[in-house]
Copies of this chain bind each other. A is one copy, B any other.
Amino acid sequence: MSGKTELVQNVIGRKVPVQVNGNPQIPFKGLGQHLPNGRKAAPPVRSASSYPSDGDKRVTDIRTALEKCGLKSGMTISSHHHFRNGDFIALETLQTAGKIGVKDLLWFPSASFPCQAPVVDLMEQGVVHHIEGSMNGPLGDYCSRGKMKGLGVLRSHGGRWQAIQDGEVHINIAVIAAPTADPFGNCDGSHGPSACGSLGFALADSIYADHVIVVTDNLVPFPCVPWQIQGNNVDYVVEVEQVGDPSQIVSGTTEITRSPERLRIAQFVATLLRDAGIMKNGFSFQAGAGGIALAFVGFLKEMMRQNGVKARFVRGGSTSYLVDLLNEGLTDYILDGQTFDLAGVAGIGSNPRHLATSPFTSYNHHGKGNFASMVDAVVLGATEVDVNFNANVVTHSDGRLLHGIGGWQNCLHSRCTILAIPSFRDRIPVIVDQVTTLTGPGELIDVIATERGIAVNPRRSDLLDALQGSKLPIRPIREIKAEVERFCGGAPRKPDLTQDPVAVIKWVDGTVLDTVFQVKDRAV
């Protein structure tokens, strides 16, 4: 990162830059304190007269499509991550841009994965200037070392929609890899050899980008049904051999944890939902695809059966565990943001009660409400939590940026937010005095569940009251922390960081919540 960046302290005590990549920033003001007053981004008006009347928008290859879109140096190119570590298209797009000879692109993926590590070479060559989007693994590591020419900007799924919608990020060219598409550009993720479930992460891109390219390996005659992405927003369609590696698109082997400690955490959380009266007819919950979350679903399902309780809806990341709930009639609906296994893909493609959602419906904070705040309970993870219930989900204890935010910040708005985490990892305590990177304010985190006990946020006296009489080991967070430190031989060492920002963490309203600082050489 070249040049010095002025930092100010935001309302939560974190130092944040006043400018990011040339754009002035609003420091975090506190929950619900920043009310926007602008208007949404206004994409160019097009005319059907400029598009083929037979609806056939196919061009021969990605290079041709990029050239027809008027690709130039300094543009912003977006991609989605529904193929996760099996994506073939985002990297090829950027490499093709490099061959065309453009420089200083802003890559704006909804998330990046290790399969896209060669983008490091493109950044070294100056083709890509920097990345705004989650950086899982090697790209996050590269960013942590201060090697990116611009600052990384990490946003939640809802925050990404907000940033596009509010005009904070202007996408010049969106490239949407699609498991099924028609020549008009209607496309979907629920069918085809590379089926990935929803394409919701690409929806904002399709609506707001100047130009939209759909790339598919499964072209069908018009109409492609369903059409989660509408061809009326699409400029060009490109057919390729394969859009992704199906074995990597979904893990295929999402499995419940076998660790006795983690199973214990999962059981605590399910029991908490039952004992606090959250698990009742018509309730709702969200749980991801981690080992603890899956085990939690298993325990909860058993309790729902025993108590004759049925959910109104469950939210995915969908897996076979949620699909089973739906098939057994234990929930009316799955509202699915992304699909984590083949059972999820099959469900979203065939069951009308298994619905693809988008970051707009589920998470966008700058809409007239969203689904996240209507969820009764959500079970999430974290890399670190502190004694004030603040949490970190992006950096490790060594300070390296290795994870994205995903929907995590958005989900914090549920009626009961539970972080289900082991109290230590590799003998490093997870509960600290102050988190390395603040990703979620403690005000929104209601419960921290560890294998050593459950800490309920003192702000939630209603929840503590509801849990009177429960046999759960409810303990003050500082007590759990002290016990873990005794066990691990003390508090974790502070990460060795410079004063140079390498990335910022946006809050769901577009303000800057925290800064990720460069790790010192000896630490990497």
Contact = CB atoms under 8 A, between A and B. Distances in A.
Contact of A45 (B48, B49, B55, B166): B166
Contacts of A43: 39-40
Contacts of A42: 39-42
Interface stretch (A296-304, A359-367, A429-437, A471-479): A359-367
B366 A48 contact: yes
Contacts of A360: 230, 232
Nearest to A186: B361
Contact of A232 (B282, B361, B415): B361
A159 to B, nearest CB: 12
A231 interface: yes
A517 interface: no
A46 B367 contact: yes
A490 interface: no
A48 B161 CA distance: 13
Contact of A369 (B48, B313, B333, B355): B48
Contacts of A37: 44-45
Interface in A245-261: none
A322 to B, nearest CB: 15
Interface residues of A, number: 65
Nearest to A45: B36
Interface in A204-239: 212, 221-223, 225-227, 230-235
Contacts of A185: 368
A466 to B, nearest CB: 17
A22 interface: no
Nearest to A282: B221
Q: Which of the listed residues A227, A232, A335 has the most CB atoms from chain B within 10 Å of its own CB? A: A232
Interface in A311-357: 312-313, 333, 335, 352-353, 355
A434 to B, nearest CB: 26
A142 to B, nearest CB: 33
A3 interface: no
A230 B368 CA distance: 10
A39 B353 CA distance: 37
A366 B225 contact: no
Interface in A36-85: 36-55, 57
A25 B39 CA distance: 25
A223 B335 contact: yes
A374 interface: yes
A164 to B, nearest CB: 12
B367 A233 contact: yes
Contact of A368 (B222, B232, B415): B232
A509 interface: yes
Given A223-B333, A225-B355, A333-B223, A369 B40 contact: no
12 contacts: A32-B49, A36-B46, A39-B45, A46-B367, A48-B364, A48-B367, A48-B368, A52-B369, A53-B373, A184-B369, A227-B361, A230-B360
